[in-house]
Amino acid sequence: MAGAASLHARATIVQPRAIAEPKLVRWTLIGTTLAFLSLFLFVPLAAVFYEALRKGLSAYLHSFTDPAALAAIKLTLLAAGIAVPVNLVFGLAASWAIAKFQFRGKHLLITLIDLPFAVSPVVSGMIYVLLYGANGYLGPWLIAHNVQIIFALPGIVLATVFVTFPFVAREVIPLMQSQGTQEEQAAMTLGASGWQTFWRVTLPGVKWAMLYGVILSNARAMGEFGAVSVVSGHIRGKTNTMPLHVEILYNEYNFVAAFAVASLLALLALATLGLKTLVEWRSAVALAQAEANPVVQEKAS
């Protein structure tokens, strides 16, 4: 009953005239926003699918039978499949250290985690070439031991890991900090080991934030162009990821195939948005709960 009543109340709230803008201003603002969104978001998205399906569904589907396209899809999945779990482990470890412990250099670590956001992806790709390339610092040693990193899968994975590593940590740290360490202390007094405490108490507490970070980092891993472009070498069917493959096809004036692969990336983006909204909602609930039971900093009393 109470729920229904409040819902009803919310539905009948009318914005008071005193703080409302004149009609003309309102419609101008709304119109501008809609025009902007259409021009930069909806039309391009529709154009991708329009171009991809321009010569019919069979031409669209035929684009995916190309071995080079299949190889690009596989490589993208593989690179993301390695980079995302690596960053999940790193992100959780870093968040745990930052949120639950006090140590020297903590602020430096937080700054370093944000570094990939600040550095141009091309630059980060270049650094890996400089380090592991044939003419790089470690190049001669790697060649002598027959290890290829640049222009091969390891380089692509390295570049992807670099550009995606802030995502999980950035999502998990604030939640862990707001949850504090009381539950962990309680678990320890109840006889739990550090490992048991982590699996049974810490991790379940942050699972939604963690999943949100994974989704974001997966989207970025699959869509990354700049850093991967530098280290991949664009070997068709071998070191081309999906975004790189799209570029090559486009440069070859093979528009249907280019937009067909691009449409896959666009679909991925839409799926990510959907998942993100769902998880965002769940993690907002978790955060609200954490804040509803605030942790008072332990004082020596």
Partner 1 sequence: MSIEVQHISKTFGSFVALDDVNLTVPTGQLVALLGPSGSGKTTLLRVIAGLEQATPAPGIDSGIRFHDEDVSHTPVRHRKVGFVFQHYALFRHMNVFENGAFGLRVARPRSRKLQIQERVHQLLALIQLEGLAHRYPSQLSGGQRQRVALARALAVQPKVLLLDEPFGALDAQVRQELRRWLRRLHDQLHVTSVFVTHDQDEALEVADRVVVMNRGRVEQVGTPDEVFHHPATEFVMHFLGQVNQFHGRVEEGRVRFGNLELPFPQYAHNQDGAARVFIRPHDVTIDTKTNGLPSIQATIERIHSAGAVVRLEMRTDAGQLLFAEISQERFATMHLTYGGTVFVRPRHIRVFTDDYDNCTRSAPLSI
Contact positions toward partner 1, by CB under 8 A? Answer: 182-183, 185-193, 196, 200-201, 204-205, 289-290, 292-296, 298-301
Q: Is the dihedral of CA 188, 192, 193, 196 positive or negative?
A: negative
Q: Give me the helix-helix angle, 203-223 and 166-179, nearest 10°.
A: 160
Nearer to partner 1, 144 or 292 (CB): 292
The amino acid present at 177, given as its one-letter code, is Q
What is the spatial distance between Cα 242 and Cα 249, in angstroms, rounded to a whole number?
A: 10
Q: If you count DSSP H runs as helices and E runs as strands, how many of each does the chain have, helices first? A: 16, 0
CA 45 to chain centre: 20
- Taking the complex as a whole, how short is the minimal distance between the CB of residue 199 and partner 1, in angstroms? 10
In the complex with partner 1, the residue whose CB is nearer, 118 or 296, is 296
CB closer to partner 1 out of 252 and 291: 291
- In the bound complex, what is the minimum distance in angstroms from residue 16's beta carbon to partner 1? 35
User: Shortest Cβ distance from residue 288 to partner 1 (Å)?
Assistant: 9
Q: Which is nearer to partner 1, 148 or 289 (CB)?
A: 289
- CA–CA distance, 245 with 202 (Å, rounded to integer): 41
Torsion 28-34-37-40 (CA) sign: negative
State the minimum distance, in angstroms, from the CB of residue 179 to partner 1.
8
Nearer to partner 1, 120 or 182 (CB): 182
Q: How far apart are CA 272 and CA 265, in angstroms?
A: 10
CB of 289 to partner 1, least distance (A): 6
Instruction: For residue 63, give Cα distances in angstroms to 9, 48, 247.
Output: 54, 14, 14
User: In the complex with partner 1, which residue's Cβ is closer, 22 or 191?
Assistant: 191
Residue 183 CB, shortest distance to partner 1, in Å, is: 5
CB within 8 A of 236, min separation 6: which ones? 68, 245, 248
